Amino acid sequence: MNSNTVKTEFLIGGISVSVLADDGDVIKKAKDKMKRAGVSPSTLHFRLYKRSVDARRRDDVRFVCTVLASSEKPRDAFPITRLRDLGIKLVESKKTETAIGTEKLNNRPLVVGMGPAGLFAALSLAKHGYAPILIDRGSSVEERAKKVERFRKEGILDTESNIQFGAGGAGTFSDGKLVTRINDVHCNFVLETMCEFGAPEEILIKSKPHVGTDLLRTVVSEILSEIEQLGGSVIYDCCMTDFVEHSDGSLNVKTTKGDFLCDALFLALGHSSRDTYTRLIQKNFASEPKPFSVGVRIEHLQSDIDSALYGKFAGNPKLGPAEYALSDTRGERGVYTFCMCPGGEVVAAASEHEGLVVNGMSYHARNGKNANCAVLASVGCEDVEPVNGNAALGAIALQRQIERAAFVAGGKDYYAPIMTVGDFLNGGTGSVPTRVQPSYRDGLVRPCRFDEVFPSFVTRALQYGIRSFGRKISGFDADDAVLTAAETRTSAPLRILRDTTSLTAIGHDRIFPCGEGAGYAGGITSAAVDGLRAAEAFMARFAPMN
């Protein structure tokens, strides 16, 4: 990858303003800060870069902003030391060029999986002339949505196309959160690309960007159309069942729609492709177990969360619905919240018969009555009983054990098992929800005991965590809050090992495991970034066929 500096940019952070302030007030403060450094604002272009909410004081909720100031002048034209003393950071904006290799390809690359990693890998390959073939065991966005809705309304599950499998991956039916902890040059590219294909431009500014499942479906469909227009092929309802590696480097990939001959295979499998994981382990792919988490979805009234976090500012349209992220590592094991969905709903996320799985989803407007969030207990490798001597298979078995127990506890008809927080914390049972009504499948739930669903160590950790979080957010542990089981698909429980430079699977010269399913990402943005990195590693070696 070659880089050429094209402009000088500065990040002016820590600008705190009232929630009543507008963008112009923020820019004015940024200009004043540059003046104090001896730089004339007239020589710079300013734009809002990031905005977050500071709700530490409920009586004075504020926005904390960062402004990007850019100039065509070289960095030597600015008083860098003085700017740095005022907390203004220099950022050298760089234009990147993808390195293209020379090794000959005889067959098109094949990408398995249309989640973020597969989508962005295939998009990058298509843009650079490699004409990838992109397959997924699930259906197109439109057909997949119909199957998800049929399961929600009628309890009829399609195990190949559901909330876990199909165009866009599991994130398509979620809140569409784009928050990531990774610091990678590709992150902005991912956000900008999503905007190009229909995501709102606010995701470039918000510190906690989200798209919403309604808009995300359009983004996914548009990216897939672009891949086809650039010469790629998109094939739905096509499940990879096996592959054979030939001595010349090519691979014969067997699928439910016939065989494909390819010169490189990208495995962007997603976190729920248990049959494929098992097949890779059987083929002696190097892998290792990794920690994962299981737990429940907790629901509160969104208005209660708004009041608890924003006080008198609750309901302010500039703030929108309140959200949170909590963790506690002081107990028996780590417990934390995950994928908080303001104004969202708990959704039926099973992908196997006789297994009950839940997840959270919200639309872009986040205007539903309830807030929901996963409350999760960490599961370590030491908690898992190996299957046939393999800990990764043991982790999958533990996930499946919990899902099947939840299915039984809910009545064996995909009704979800629930408990009120009051019952769960105080040893009660059978309480019917009152103020907070469960959103799962419009209320198709049954009260049960969670000790019938989870191992005791999970139950204890969840109880500890909910009490802890109740001390951080007033009402989090309210008796009438509702818990729905079981959330088990937060991440893949294993990692397919790969070379750190070529990004190919250990011992497999042309196979690129990538994304969340391969154990290298933890959300939409990081999975997309990993798919891009895998594609770049491939392109640095091979020349396009045309």
**pLDDT over 70 (residue 6):** no
* Domain over 110-287+494-539 is classified CATH 3.40.50.720: no
- Say what the pLDDT of residue 92 is: 67
% of the chain residues with pLDDT over 90: 89
Listed in order, strand segments (DSSP E) in 197-315 are 233-235, 240-245, 251-255, 258-262, 265-267, 287-289, 292-301
* CA distance linking residue 479 with residue 463, whole number of Å: 13
Give the pLDDT score at 514: 97
Q: Distance from first CA to last CA of the chain, Å, rounded? A: 21
Q: How far is CA 353 from CA 158, 235, 273, 356, 404, in A?
A: 9, 25, 14, 8, 9
CA distances from 300 to 152, 311, 370, 481 (A): 21, 16, 6, 5
Answer whether 438's CB lies under 8 Å from 484's CB.
yes
Q: What digits encode the pLDDT tens for the residues 214-242?
A: 999 999 999 999 999 999 999 999 999 99
CA dist 96 to 176, 302, 396, 501, 530, Å?
Answer: 27, 43, 40, 19, 17
Domain coordinates in residue numbering, the chain: 2-96, 110-287+494-539, 292-487
Class of the domain covering 2-96: alpha beta
Instruction: Report the C-alpha gap between 395 and 226 in whole angstroms.
Output: 38
What is the Cα–Cα distance from 402 to 8, expressed in whole angstroms? 54
Crossing angle between the packed helical segments 116-127 and 213-229, to the nearest 10 degrees: 30
Rounded to an integer, the average pLDDT of 486-504 is 95
Contact status, residue 362 vs residue 324, Cβ threshold 8 Å: no
pLDDT in tens, 113-137: 999 999 999 999 999 999 999 999 9
For residue range 242-289, what is the model confidence (pLDDT) as tens digits? 999 999 999 999 999 999 999 999 999 999 999 999 999 999 999 998
Mean pLDDT, the chain, rounded, equals 94
- For 328-341, what is each residue's pLDDT tens digit? 999 999 999 999 99
